[in-house]
Amino acid sequence: MACFGKRKSVIAMSLLVAVSLFVAMVNYAEKPYFLLQPVLGQAFSSRWVSSRLQPKAFKPHVGYVSVPKQEPLKLDCDACSIVSSSGQMLGREAGPEIDQSSCVWRMNNAPTGGFERDVGRKTTLRVVSHTSVPLLLQKQQYFFGQANNTIYVIWGPLRNMRKDGKGIVYNMLQQVVENYPQAKVFVTTEERMNYCDKVFKLETGKDRIQSGSYLSTGWFTLILAMDVCREIHVYGMINETYCRTDGYRKVPYHYYEAGSRDECAEYLLHETAPYGGHRFITEKSVFAKWAKTHAIKFSHPAWTVS
């Protein structure tokens, strides 16, 4: 009987502890975490604090390193607005909606000044081709000045991005950081560049180099965004069939270059170029595929992803 009584006491005590723990957890929002420490111990309290009270640490993206320290990019975004440089943005008045996103991404040297109503004012990150870096340098104060907190991610081939003093674009970026120490400038590593080539071949069955083409800044932007952003909203990017649609809206290739070549004419020229072109239309078919498995939305014009 004594043994039976002890067993009942142990069961009762276990139930009491379990109920107390449950109540403590339910009321955690109103009570400090350390109330749970006597029950679960120091190891639990440390993990609990780390996961519930401290802000989430930014994930390092090792394929992108800072100039000149070679530290990985650390960025984490809930909702990203990616703003195309296309003339499709003109007259859309999407600026206020774009600026509501936690992160706003732009490409190359596309400006906001004078186009705020259509493209917004905010710029969190800017993905830039090695060929567009000289265009940034023409307006260094605008792009890298003291009031600018934008992150710049530059992509380019090794011959221009090498760090041994022979990489002409990398040398330019080093000078930028010397002139503007607060500038946040990152370059895409050779390994990441090769990865982006491999993704193109995997998705299209075509070797980028053998096909005589270059990946676009949009390609590098979407690949990085899928790592960084939980949700992606792309503005002003046309789909693969747009230019074959009757009565499509003719716009300049870039919204900030009035009178430039029609966007569809530019796309078709690049798609059929035997060498040196971007495969814009092919890339858009891949983006549509990615939108089926990632939280990616396209607006102005809207895409139907089935």
Tell me what the pLDDT averaged over the chain comes to.
Answer: 85
Predicted confidence (pLDDT) at residue 61 exceeds the cutoff of 60: yes
How many structural domains compose the chain? 1
Residue 259 lies in a domain: yes
CATH of the domain at 161: 3.90.1480.20
In a domain, 167, yes or no: yes
CA dihedral 121, 122, 125, 128 (to 10 degrees): 0
pLDDT digits (tens, 9 = 90+) for 91-109: 999 999 999 999 999 999 9
Decide: 160 and 169 in contact? Cβ < 8 Å. yes
Q: Which residues contact 173 (CB under 8 A, 6 or more apart)?
A: 67, 133, 154, 185, 187
pLDDT in tens, 256-270: 999 889 999 999 999
Q: Is 40 a domain residue?
A: no
Quick one: pLDDT band at residue 227, thresholds 50, 70, 90?
Answer: very high
DSSP code, position 262: B
Dihedral (Cα; 191, 192, 194, 196), 10-degree rounding: 170
Q: In the predicted model, what is the mean pLDDT of residues 215-232?
A: 98
Residue 240 lies in a domain: yes
- Asked, for residue 253, whether it belongs to a domain, the answer is yes
Percent of the chain with pLDDT over 90: 76
The answer to the question of residue 43 being in a domain is no
Percent of the chain beyond pLDDT 70? 81
Q: Is the pTM of this model over 0.85?
A: no
- Residue 31's pLDDT is 30
- Residue 12 domain-assigned? no
Question: Measured between alpha carbons, how far is 277 from 211 in angstroms, rounded to an integer?
Answer: 10
Q: What range defines the domain where residue 73 resides?
A: 60-299
Residue 121 in any domain: the answer is yes
The mean per-residue pLDDT over the stretch 280-293 comes to: 97
Neighbours of 127 (CB within 10 A): 27
Instruction: Report phi then psi at 40, rounded to 5.
Output: -105, -10
**Amino acid 57: pLDDT:** 60
**What is the rounded average pLDDT of the residues 141-148?**
87
